[in-house]
Amino acid sequence: MHACILLNLSRTGAKLAILEAIREGEGAILRCGVINHFAIVTRTEFGRNALVFDEPLSDAVVLETRRYHETFEARERRALIETARRWVTGDTDDERPI
């Protein structure tokens, strides 16, 4: 298993940034949100890989994944602010003794 960053997504494939090289022609399964799809690596260059899915994704899956990406930064910012607020006020769910 390799951790990666999803750079681009279409119904027929994806582009990934990945630290560990994947060989061209190698099979892979992309697991990201609701995506759990088999693909073949068609191109590798400088930490970026292009994949082609064996079966196209549905429009709904592509749109849901893109919407998730578009709101990711705002969700992360809100979670960070909430964590900081709880830390400052001492409002934690942590049951460890001090």
Q: What is the pTM of this model?
A: 0.66
Q: List the chain pLDDT tens, one digit each, 98 residues.
A: 778 888 899 999 999 998 877 889 999 999 888 899 999 999 998 889 999 999 999 999 998 888 877 777 787 888 888 888 888 888 866 555 55
Measure the CA–CA gap between 97 and 66, rounded to whole angstroms.
43
Domains of the chain, start order: 4-89 (2.40.10)
- CA distance linking residue 43 with residue 50, whole number of Å: 5
Q: Can you tell me whether residue 21 is helix, strand or coil?
A: coil
Query: Residue 89: what residue type?
Result: T
Stated as kind and residue range, the H or E segment containing 18 is strand 13-18
Q: Measuring CA to CA, which residue among 87, 32, 88, 41 is closest to residue 61?
A: 32
